[in-house]
Copies of this chain bind each other. A is one copy, B any other.
Amino acid sequence: MKQIRIGMLGCGIVGSAVLRMLARNRSDIERRVGAQVEVVRVAVRNPSKERDVPEGIEALYTTDAHAVVRDPLVQIVVEVMGGIEPARSLLVEAMEGGKHVVTANKELLASLGRELFDAAERAGVDLYFEAAVGGGIPLIHPLKESLAGERIRKVMGIVNGTTNFILTRMSEEGISFSAALAEAERLGYTELDPSADIEGFDPAAKAAILASIAFNTRVVAGDVYREGIAAITQQDIAFAARLGYAVKLLAIAESQDGEVAVRVHPAMIPRTHPLASVRDNLNAVFVQGENVGELMFLGRGAGGPPTGTSVVGDVLDIARNILSGGRGVGCTCYTEKTVRPMETMFAQYYILLKVADLPGVLASVAGVFGHNNVSIGSVWQEGVGEEAQLVLITHRAMERDLRATLHDLRELEAVTKVASVMRVEGGEA
């Protein structure tokens, strides 16, 4: 029987899950692919570290990652070490040596994707990365292949499990952001420094990758407008619930007038929207296409075994390509579209104002909105006296106009505080 030989870079929770799957499902994999898939080398920093790997793997450890990418036996390099360097140099070297690559490295792809794809193109090899967005969720292949004949209008996803867990707890248990964060930390859902999640850096990298694929143009992480969830209060979530909305941290990429708009921010979405019921640390990506209408892909966005499933799927896809002499889909960024500045994007907004309980307050507030071309969809007043507040939901408005509105509201005597501003998604088109 033919053999396909794998070299691995890294052997953490994803890498060891990949090794366990390849061993445990060995006979099924042979029959599905028509070849034995053999791991022949594994680059690790510390060979004596305890790892949950199949028997015999220890003998394949090397601390010399270059030896893996130069090994003439290796046909597919699996990179699960993460970070920019040395991953970048190792993968470029591997591809220049004619090796196919599977990587789960969203950070690398979202900043230096073009360089990697150019190297793959020059060498005529496959570069797959299903695991880089949405962990175990099949997403990259469906977007590139199943929707190859479609025009995608919008991609909107919950692509960070930690923040979705926090928002779910705040919503279902009525606890504060900091209490929910502490619970996420206790359960081991957060990184040592939780800011990549909380401040939206992790979902911004994923948004850049999704936007690049959906709109056939290269978007990098730095292009993505980004707001985190630390400012979300229990009151925002309670108001959202009363209005029929859930609060989610969304990564959004959409096509507007031939440009691409990409952003990560918390948003209110209608409770009947499929994304609203994505709970705990699940991920989900919602896609709108001209013909296909609405699609949603849901699953586990992190963790060794789910992410490992996507890595193994890519490895086996490439193994089949090697055996049949075929080639997978390469870079699909064949256009150069402008990334739209946040100021010119359109959205609906929820605004909570603390106001003086005086006659004429609503008129002066409404005047400010009108003056700035922001149309109010609904408004009502809560409480009286010192506690008086106005809740407003706008129609679709331009971000620049909304910012001018907020500026003017803060100048109004009747408005004591602009307490909250949040975008509303999944509603009017």
Which residues of A are in contact with B by a Cβ distance under 8 Å? Answer: 17, 21-22, 24-25, 28-29, 31-33, 130, 136-138, 141-142, 145-151, 216, 272, 274, 276-279, 282, 284, 289-300, 303, 305-306, 308-310, 312-313, 315-317, 320-321, 324-327, 329, 332, 334
Q: Could you say which residues of chain B place their CB within 8 Å of the CB of A306?
A: 291-293
Contact A149–B298 (Cβ < 8 Å): no
Contact B300–A297 (Cβ < 8 Å): no
**Interface CB pairs A-B, < 8 A, 9:** A29-B149, A138-B146, A141-B146, A148-B317, A149-B309, A150-B313, A272-B279, A296-B298, A297-B297
Q: Could you say which residues of chain B place their CB within 8 Å of the CB of A291?
A: 17, 21, 136, 305-306, 308-309
Q: Could you say which residues of chain B place their CB within 8 Å of the CB of A32?
A: 148, 216, 329, 332, 334
Contact B277–A316 (Cβ < 8 Å): no
Contact B146–A313 (Cβ < 8 Å): yes
Q: Could you say which residues of chain B place their CB within 8 Å of the CB of A276?
A: 277
Contact A292–B299 (Cβ < 8 Å): yes
Q: Given the complex of chains A and B, what is the CA–CA distance between A148 and B298 in angstroms?
A: 18
Contact A150–B25 (Cβ < 8 Å): yes
Q: Could you say which residues of chain B place their CB within 8 Å of the CB of A329?
A: 32, 320
Give the residue among A149, A276, A300, A334 with the most B Cβ atoms within 10 A.
Answer: A149
Q: Given the complex of chains A and B, what is the CA–CA distance between A147 and B136 in angstroms?
A: 9
Q: Given the complex of chains A and B, what is the CA–CA distance between A26 and B151 in angstroms?
A: 11
Q: Apart from A138-B145, A293-B303, list 8 A-B contacts with CB within 8 A.
A: A32-B148, A136-B291, A291-B308, A292-B299, A293-B305, A294-B298, A320-B327, A325-B326
- Give chain B nearest CB distance to A76 CB in angstroms: 13
A148/B277 contact (C-beta < 8 A), A31-B334, A138-B142, A306-B292 known: no
Contact B148–A310 (Cβ < 8 Å): no
Q: Of B130, B141, B216, B299, which one neighbours A293 at CB under 8 angstroms? A: B299
Contact A136–B313 (Cβ < 8 Å): no
Q: Of B279, B290, B300, which one neighbours A292 at CB under 8 angstroms? A: B300
